[in-house]
Homo-oligomer: A and B are copies of this chain.
Amino acid sequence: MSTRIVITGGAGFLGAVLARRLLAASISLGGAPAEELGELVLVDLFAPPADLAGDPRVRVVTGDLTTVLAGLGPVDAIFHLAGVVSGAAEADFDLGMRTNLDGTRALLEYARGLAAAPVLVFSSSLAVFGSDPALGPVGDVDDTTLPRPQSSYGIQKFIGEQLVADYSRKGFVRGRSVRLMTVSVRPGKPNAAASSFLSGIIREPLAGQRAACPVPPGTPIALSSPRKTLDGLLRAGEVDEAEWGSRTAMNLPALTTTPQEMAAALDRVAGAGTSDLIDWTDDPAVGAIVGSWPARFHTLRAEKLGLRPEHTFDDIVRAYRDDLG
């Protein structure tokens, strides 16, 4: 027996690193013994990096989730990472609804049509939490905190969680929804996300380039490294239903830090003065968005599954630097 896995959004940053992890070692799914990976299907709007596209076990499927799933055939597990990011879903409401809501429904219907219900790991987001204008800041978040999403992206992710929960209850899929934190340090270029600078203020100075921090240095921030984020996705796919527990979504662990502490960590890892390349240029618009996100997470449920945040931001900077080498 060999395993067949689908990653939606498989050509994106997280999708690609997840794909490499899955190709590197056998994986246990839904409580079953570990098996060899037979085929990895990467579904995305664009092609994956060349190392993945060239692997004989990888099948590349390019196109929209609402149209490409019909011919996929049976699958043991799906990691559903595809989606329009927060800024785009806010700027184009219909695009967000089509991709994040209708795309997720199409995926769930595909899975429901299979003879055996696949494990489905759905990547939700801390963006389900938002600062309700009538109520003020979110405050500390734990496993029972009521999400009050304040963006179309957050709403669409929260709806996806509900669909995954009900399709699981009905036995159509073996779903687990995990809420990802802001991932830092992401490689590559800055993007339009309000959180983009949280990678940029490390990535750019490490490359000898200037980067702007648009929020006050002491702003509390909840982060997760790419590695810990992958740990969460893989652990969700690995455990059986009893160990997973509630069908309600699980918050992944977060490291609470500040841009000031991040800059200090950068100097400790990369040498004193590296953070001089950060321009502390306040942008109240970005500050309002980033400051409305919860920054302190108490993730007992994730801890029971052995998931922990990074100990220090120094570890995150070091891991990023080492991955580049």
> Do residues A146 and B144 form an inter-chain contact, with CB atoms below 8 A?
yes
- The smallest C-beta distance from A127 to any residue of chain B, in angstroms, reads 12
- The smallest C-beta distance from A277 to any residue of chain B, in angstroms, reads 38
* Majority SS at the chain A contact face: loop
> Do residues B247 and A132 form an inter-chain contact, with CB atoms below 8 A?
yes
Interfacial chain B residues near A248, Cβ < 8 Å: 132, 146, 148
Report the separation of the CA atoms of residues A247 and B134 in the bound assembly, to the nearest whole angstrom: 8
Q: Check A121 for interface membership: any CB of B closer than 8 A.
A: no
Interface residues of A in 141-173 (CB under 8 A from B): 144-150, 152, 155, 158-159, 162-163, 165-166, 169-170
- The smallest C-beta distance from A36 to any residue of chain B, in angstroms, reads 31
> Do residues B170 and A93 form an inter-chain contact, with CB atoms below 8 A?
yes
Q: Check A219 for interface membership: any CB of B closer than 8 A.
A: no
Tell me the number of copies of this protein: 2
Q: Check A245 for interface membership: any CB of B closer than 8 A.
A: yes
Choice from B135, B145, B155 contacting A246 with Cβ under 8 Å: B135
- Chain A residues with CB under 8 Å of chain B are 93, 132, 134-135, 144-150, 152, 155, 158-159, 162-163, 165-166, 169-170, 245-248
Q: 10 additional contacts, CB 8 Å, given A152-B166, A158-B162?
A: A93-B170, A134-B247, A144-B146, A148-B246, A149-B162, A149-B165, A152-B170, A155-B165, A159-B159, A159-B162
